[in-house]
Chains A and B, each alone.
Chain A
């Protein structure tokens, strides 16, 4: 079973607050990802990292930022939360697959509600 953890699982917060969503994995994977998932919509990649000190923006524009100081840790930060940031945020990691495909393992997600 994949060991990838996200905290908090649920967060209700007021507009303007700074928040950090935590993601940790114990599989030693180099690659990590953040996705945003809204009801009835596809997962959209918002950030990814290929290793320590590597971060890139994904296909969906996001006001969030990420950091990768340790291999196992990939936190996502919103400096000033707004209601438009209300969504589910999913973290994933991947490593070498047997047939080149790098299976992405997902965490349980953080449901964020900004009031």
Chain B
């Protein structure tokens, strides 16, 4: 069983929609939870991270962590075509070795 599970998609939504991306994990020792965005032919870039449980908001993006359910989410409000990318969740318990999900490919059409 993989430590981190993520639906690969693709997820196709119209511009302006609210997007929900999710990951589940099995290791209760994970403390830091991250979301990376990867455009085609580029390396991943860190969008935001959360320590332990709770919510974190940054502009149109909100990250949620539910440690009791071992479930994390990324919400994108008012989605734009420029948000079209692959979104990777990642997590760690020692701040160094990251465990990644497979990524969810998102397409926002005008």
Q: Are B43 and A106 touching (Cβ within 8 A)? A: yes
8 Å CB contact of A101 from B32, B99, B101, B103: B32
Could you tell me the dominant secondary structure of chain A's interface residues? loop
* Among A59, A101, A105, A106, residue most surrounded by chain B Cβ atoms (within 10 Å): A101
For residue B14, CB closer than 8 A to chain A, the reply is no
Interface pair B41/A90, CB less than 8 Å apart: no
**CB neighbours of A109 from chain B (8 A):** 41-43
B8 to chain A, nearest CB (A): 6
Given contacts A90-B43, A108-B42, contact A102 B97 (CB under 8 A): no
- A42-B100, A42-B101, A100-B95 as given contacts; A106 in contact with B44, CB under 8 Å: yes
A106 / chain B contacts, CB cutoff of 8 Å: 36, 43-45
Q: Give the size range of A's interface with the partner.
A: 20 to 34
B56 to chain A, nearest CB (A): 12
Q: How far is the CB of A101 from chain B (nearest CB, A)?
A: 5
Q: Chain B contacts of A45 at CB under 8 A?
A: 97-98
Chain B residues near A47: list those with CB within 8 A.
Answer: none
Q: A60 to chain B: closest CB distance in Å?
A: 12
Bound form: Cα–Cα A106–B46 in Å: 9
Question: B4 within 8 Å of A by Cβ?
Answer: yes
Determine whether B102 belongs to the interface, using a CB cutoff of 8 Å to chain A: yes
Q: Known contacts A45-B97, A101-B95; decide if A108 and B4 are in contact (CB<8 Å).
A: no
